[in-house]
Amino acid sequence: MRRLPFLPLLLLIGCSKHPLAVATQQADKIVVEKSTHTMTLYSKGAVLRTYRVALGRGAGQAKQRQGDHETPEGLYTIDAKNIHSRFHLALHVSYPNADDKRRAQKLRVAPGGDIMIHGLENGLGWLGSIQHHVDWTDGCVALTDDEVDEVSRLVPIGTPIEIQH
């Protein structure tokens, strides 16, 4: 059998869904645009990758209180990763921030918490991109399992995330 010295490189490039550069770069900013249901990763100001996302099943407003099923809006950071989540994988968003806490205190309600970027609930990965068609989370940002695996590789803890309407 004849060996092709460039075969490993071809396999790496040819089997990847995304450009090779994506695998070697790290995101330094995340922007979620609720109005377009997208999440974009940036590296040094350039778009690294954009994903279609599902959001909280509320009315599409900014999160006001625990249990309202809304996705928050504001500036946060990715402050932890949870490989033992009930969802395929989860990146924790630092909600609530100081503004969220003040607003909740003014309303005399609990601000809530546990906002994540995550995949599908364990055992439901077969749904794949179908999950993008319905807002189904309790306020989180949801991706397919493959997408959240990629995001987890590209996004270090401490990455800022801006969630916009």
Structure tokens at 83: 């490989």
Q: How far apart are CA 32 and CA 119, in angstroms?
A: 16
Q: Is residue 140 included in any domain, yes or no?
A: yes
Cα 102 to Cα 123: distance, rounded to the nearest angstrom:
38
Domain span at residue 36? Answer: 25-164
pLDDT value at position 103? Answer: 94
Question: pTM for this structure?
Answer: 0.83
What pLDDT is recorded for position 8? Answer: 39
**CA–CA separation, 153 vs 135, rounded Å?**
25
pLDDT in tens, the chain (165 residues): 333 343 333 333 333 344 444 457 899 999 999 999 999 999 999 999 999 999 999 999 999 999 999 999 999 999 999 988 888 899 999 999 999 999 999 999 999 999 999 998 877 777 778 788 899 999 999 999 999 999 999 999 999 999 999
Q: What is the CATH number of the domain that holds 91?
A: 2.40.440.10
**Residue 20 belongs to some domain of the structure:** no
Question: What's the structural domain count of the chain?
Answer: 1
Which has the closest alpha carbon to 159: 92, 103, 107? 92
pLDDT at residue number 18: 46
- Cα separation, 16 vs 22, in Å, equals 10
Is residue 49 a contact partner of residue 22, using CB atoms and an 8 Å limit? Answer: yes
**Does residue 89 belong to any structural domain of this protein?**
yes
Q: If you search the block for the tokens 């946060």, which residue do you land on?
A: 76
